[in-house]
Structure 1
Amino acid sequence: MKRFLIFCCLFIFFTNYIFAQNSTIFLENYYKNEFLRFSKNACPSSFYPSNEGVFKLSDSIKDKRVFYYDLPVWFFQKHWIQVEKEQFSIHISPLIHFAYGKSTDTVDIKPLFRNSRGIYLDGQLGSKFSFQFVISENQSSFCDYEAQYFKDRGELYVTPNGYTKVNAVIPSASRTKYFKDTIYPNAFDYAFSVGAVAYQINNKSRVEFGNTQQFIGNGYRSLFLSDNSTHAPFFRFQRSFCKRWCYNFLSKKTLNLIRKPFSNGIEKSYENKWFLAHYLTFQVKENLNISFFTGGIHLRADSIQKHSINPLFILPTFNTDLWNHSSIVNGINGLNIDYFLSGIKCYAQIVMDQVNKKTLFASQLGIHYFNVLKIKRLDFQIEWNQIPEDFYSNSNFKLAYSHSNLSITHPKGNNFSELYFRLSFMYKRFQFLCSFSNYFTRGGDIYSQIIQNNLFLTSDKKKMLFSQNGQTQIYIGEIIYRWNNRYNAQLYFQFRSRISNFGIFHQQNNSYLAGVRMSLFNQYLDF
């Protein structure tokens, strides 16, 4: 092990250069899609977030309108507080989301609201160090099916008869605190703080640590790792070599939100897990990349004992633990393919898992079509995802491919097929968006959609509530006025319709929401 670490150090420092600058690009879909549009295949890796050294996105989306007064320049083109020197820069802006709306289902009409207040800060020291930090306090209410999803993922306390579930977990945010409001029965109170620091070792090597999110792949969904769950402490190492190769190593501390029965602190701690991933990309041609993924969840400590980590899993080798039927490791392997040609980005993922000695395969296939029919900023995306029953799960439910009781890939979990469609048109500061998701699910019920899309139970332990196949359709339309793309400041109106059919059972929910937001994180509520 010692020789391996020495070799890594020598490999990092005694090399040539490829990157230039350091700032991390936001992971929110607006920035990711613009990155794909302008960078084409300049980035050899589909491991996000990327950085300005790979492709200078800020220049491509820069507001180039000319103003003759300082106030409109500040409002439309700058952060609220902005200091930029030759070897130092810092930007500070508010991070708010104020919105109000209504939710209508088959029973009654309920109000919706978002009330988020926070601060965003980023900066750079010289050409090597960069940092980002966010603090946010939130009170929000959601539709019935969303609230049920969040409560189903609440933290667990050990009892003599099993577990007691309390509170809830909000995707891309945090676990909730107690919130009592008779007017807003589906309201939650939650807060979070996230940040990351990046250091450009040289032009080929980069390290980053913090508790922000990551995403692997060029699709709307990822079958390897997505930003669906909550934030978690991580360490990431990126290395490019031999012009055509790019390697990423990721280590994250993840949690089962199960309180340990005994603790020395005031608040009982959660059970720890450790997520490790290796991602190796080979640029076959200028417009064709093939990437190999191996990753898994290690159970570090449960309510009974601590578990050591096999040091071999840290090595950039194919996931042998997947074949060894380890009782404390749940791993997957996969292949990612990206192909870019004349404004069309084709992508695919194939993932392999082994559950109860069965080898299972999940798949993704999609297309981004930019500037459709040569109409500037008219974009089209279509994507197919298929994840079989039991995928990502384990006979030991504590080893589920999850963090904070949420899937770290697709919000639906497993046991479904999905067709996703998205159409976007941007004109000046306006953006018009419409999307459609169609899920096909085997078994389940309309009020507990996640029951049969469950990472925490394998099929031999599930109680099938209904044998009929289910179908869920989600239609979303949005009108956005984006007045500042430095921190994605928007006025927006959103309409959403969700229709679920399971045999003779039918449920429909319509909702609308209008307000102002600074959107830097994705939150997937189309499940």
Structure 2
Amino acid sequence: MKKNIFLLLALFSTSSLFAQTPNQYLPYSFDHYQKFNKQAYDQNSRFHSSIKPYFGDDSLLSQAVDSVYNFGLDTAVKRTWVHRKLFNEHLIDIKTPDYTVYADFLPDFQIGYDSQAGNTWLNTRGYQVGGTIGKKFSFYTSGFENQAVFPGYYLEYINANGIIPGQVNDKFGPTKSTKDWAYATAILSYTPVKYLNLTLGQDKNFIGDGYRSMLLSDVAATYPFFKLTANLGRVKYMAMWAQFQDLRAPEFSYDNGYRKKWGVFHYLDWNVTNKLSLGFFDSVIWQDADEDGKRGFDFMYANPFIFLRPIEGQNGSPDNALIGFTGKYELFKNLAVYGQFAADEFTAKEVFSNKGYWANKFAYQLGIKGFDAFTVKNLNYLLEFNTARPFTYSQRNSLLNYGHYNQALAHPMGANFREFVSIWNYSFKRFELKGQVNFAQYGLDGTGENFGKDIYKPYDTRNGNYGYKTGGGIKTDFSFIQGKIGYLINPKYNLRLETGFTSRIEENVNFSQKNNFITFGLRSSFRNLYEDF
């Protein structure tokens, strides 16, 4: 028995025998990814920063990945097994010349108090397992079992939409204030040659350099996808096919589950120079089936190197096509200017008529971000403006809109809004600080009205064809101010002690909702879950 225990402990600790192998999938988290800003926005490199998540085997990132995940590791000092596992290593960490495997327990335990709901808490037990086989194949999976009592505004959102934002459906519905849910992610990645990567996953994707994305974000729940990524130096090209779920469309039967829809996405990122990058994006959403029959996957969209809009037109234009553009310019050595433009639908003569035509559906983003602000090392910053005109991302029905699992595939506020957001992150040794401010203005609907904010409302329920402007409807002001302080315990799986304070205000002529809440917790994982909506 003692011999078996010794062998098991030795197996868990084999990482010290081999060099760091950073060619791992890096789960996307905005806060965590700021630690890579110096490499991602280096004027002397041509790193493709707008396609996320990253893989750690990129030569431009490998040094940063090694530094971040091995922070505080001093191999010259001999530590006990318990000390190493608590502060510097994965719980299980096996490295051999042929394969690597790591695994961790991911807790997220929080307690707090909300001025509206009273005591709040979160009890999450999670895991992650990842690794590589040879130099071409990697894998990653995570899973989370959760129970929680949420702040007032968050609980209202869950009860109104039937989902835990960004995760999965509410298991027991609005009758219970304590929520219970579980979900998992998985990634299989294969790189047959250095120019090509194939990824099969149940996860999220993000296009852009900002905090938000007006093209494709990680706001909604995970979804199954197959992604092809070609890297040819200055050009990086992504083609992805995905399946989404619509919880609002009537189910055909219990056995068929939630209604399905499909999506295809193309994105080309071109590093024109070391400083300037330009990108082109297009996508099409189509429904899987209707009452008259099943369409399924449409192989007309199978070709990864074809413009989607002509194919959608050749199909008879039954689907929802979106095109977009991105840009990034690294203005100074520690500051980049970036932007996005998304065009859902528009009529040129109506754009310039200034009559507020409903079908002029577009969105855009402008921002700056950087690192080492005011010459302070590890002080990262972002200032960003986002806006979307009414009815952008909406369609004839929810099976065609730009959404998944009762949330938007782009911005969490849907459409018909303007938003300013600023985020600052600073780390000093194992201490981490974050400050965030959001201010937004949007137009809500009155009874029987549709001013274009809710992308799940069919656009043919609008009140008319003209007179729509961004923020029209019931003018609503929104503010979100948050500060967090954390102490990093183990960088391998982002285990930290964290406390935070949040103030949220949403008000218009009909109501005023104010939430102030504070949280304390032992947190882990790289989940990117949004609270600012």
Q: What TM-score, normalized to structure 2?
A: 0.85
> In the TM superposition, what is the alpha-carbon distance from 1:127 to its structure 2 partner?
0.5
1:314-335 CA-partner distances (Å, limit 9, x unpaired): 3333332566795641111011
Segment drifting more, 379-388 vs 358-367:
358-367
Counterparts of 1:328 and 1:381, CA distance in 2: 39
> In the TM superposition, what is the alpha-carbon distance from 1:357 to its structure 2 partner?
8.3
Matches within 5 A, 1:14-413: 22-40=23-41, 41-54=45-58, 55-56=61-62, 57-61=64-68, 62-66=70-74, 67-70=77-80, 71-105=82-116, 109-153=117-161, 168-178=162-172, 186-241=177-232, 243-258=233-248, 261-263=251-253, 267-307=255-295, 309-315=297-303, 316-320=305-309, 328-340=318-330, 341-354=332-345, 358-413=359-414
1:301-322 CA-partner distances (Å, limit 9, x unpaired): 2344212555443333333256
> In the TM superposition, what is the alpha-carbon distance from 1:64 to its structure 2 partner?
3.8
One-letter amino acid matched to 2:65 = S
Q: Is the 8 A contact 1:28 1:519 kept in 2?
A: no
1:477 is matched with which residue?
A: 483
Segment drifting more, 273-282 vs 321-330:
321-330
SS in 2 for 1:73: helix
Counterparts of 1:128 and 1:238, CA distance in 2: 14
Counterparts of 2:51 and 2:287, CA distance in 1: 25
Counterparts of 1:119 and 1:397, CA distance in 2: 34
Q: Is the 8 A contact 1:22 1:199 kept in 2?
A: no
- Structure 2 spans left out of the alignment, 5+ residues: 1-20, 347-356, 465-471
One-letter amino acid matched to 2:234 = R
Counterparts of 2:299 and 2:211, CA distance in 1: 33
SS in 2 for 1:211: strand
Counterparts of 2:345 and 2:314, CA distance in 1: 10
> In the TM superposition, what is the alpha-carbon distance from 1:151 to its structure 2 partner?
2.6
> In the TM superposition, what is the alpha-carbon distance from 1:141 to its structure 2 partner?
1.9
2:3 is matched with which residue?
A: none
1:456 is matched with which residue?
A: 456
> In the TM superposition, what is the alpha-carbon distance from 1:393 to its structure 2 partner?
0.3
Q: Is the 8 A contact 1:260 1:269 kept in 2?
A: no
Counterparts of 1:49 and 1:374, CA distance in 2: 28
SS in 1 for 2:25: coil
Over 3 Å counting, the alpha-carbon distance change for 1:81 and 1:310 in structure 2 is: closer
SS in 2 for 1:285: coil
Pick from 498, 501, 504 the counterpart of residue 495 of structure 1: 501
1:157 is matched with which residue?
A: none
Over 3 Å counting, the alpha-carbon distance change for 1:300 and 1:262 in structure 2 is: closer
Pick from 520, 523, 526 the counterpart of residue 529 of structure 2: 523
1:108-139 CA-partner distances (Å, limit 9, x unpaired): x4221111112111111111111011121111
Counterparts of 1:151 and 1:371, CA distance in 2: 42
Q: Is the 8 A contact 1:498 1:508 kept in 2?
A: yes
Segment drifting more, 49-58 vs 356-365:
356-365
Segment drifting more, 455-464 vs 367-376:
455-464
2:18 is matched with which residue?
A: none
Segment drifting more, 371-380 vs 302-311:
302-311
Counterparts of 1:305 and 1:35, CA distance in 2: 48
Counterparts of 1:21 and 1:63, CA distance in 2: 14
Q: Is the 8 A contact 2:390 2:451 kept in 1?
A: no
Over 3 Å counting, the alpha-carbon distance change for 1:314 and 1:268 in structure 2 is: closer
SS in 2 for 1:358: coil
SS in 1 for 2:247: strand
Counterparts of 2:249 and 2:419, CA distance in 1: 34
Counterparts of 1:234 and 1:443, CA distance in 2: 33
One-letter amino acid matched to 1:48 = K
> In the TM superposition, what is the alpha-carbon distance from 1:76 to its structure 2 partner?
1.5
Counterparts of 2:109 and 2:139, CA distance in 1: 26
| Matched length | 482
> In the TM superposition, what is the alpha-carbon distance from 1:473 to its structure 2 partner?
0.4
- Structure 1 spans left out of the alignment, 5+ residues: 1-19, 154-167
SS in 2 for 1:31: helix
**RMSD over aligned Cα atoms:** 2.6
Counterparts of 2:462 and 2:503, CA distance in 1: 29
Counterparts of 1:31 and 1:302, CA distance in 2: 42
> In the TM superposition, what is the alpha-carbon distance from 1:102 to its structure 2 partner?
1.1
What's the % identity of the aligned pairs? Answer: 26
Over 3 Å counting, the alpha-carbon distance change for 1:249 and 1:96 in structure 2 is: same
Counterparts of 2:154 and 2:22, CA distance in 1: 40
Q: Is the 8 A contact 1:365 1:383 kept in 2?
A: yes
Counterparts of 2:473 and 2:358, CA distance in 1: 25
1:459-480 CA-partner distances (Å, limit 9, x unpaired): 552589x944111001011111
Counterparts of 1:43 and 1:280, CA distance in 2: 14
Q: Is the 8 A contact 1:45 1:281 kept in 2?
A: no
2:9 is matched with which residue?
A: none
> In the TM superposition, what is the alpha-carbon distance from 1:260 to its structure 2 partner?
5.4
Q: Is the 8 A contact 1:22 1:198 kept in 2?
A: no
One-letter amino acid matched to 2:243 = K
Over 3 Å counting, the alpha-carbon distance change for 1:174 and 1:69 in structure 2 is: same
1:41-68 CA-partner distances (Å, limit 9, x unpaired): 5422511111122221421313144343
Over 3 Å counting, the alpha-carbon distance change for 1:313 and 1:344 in structure 2 is: same
Counterparts of 1:442 and 1:177, CA distance in 2: 31
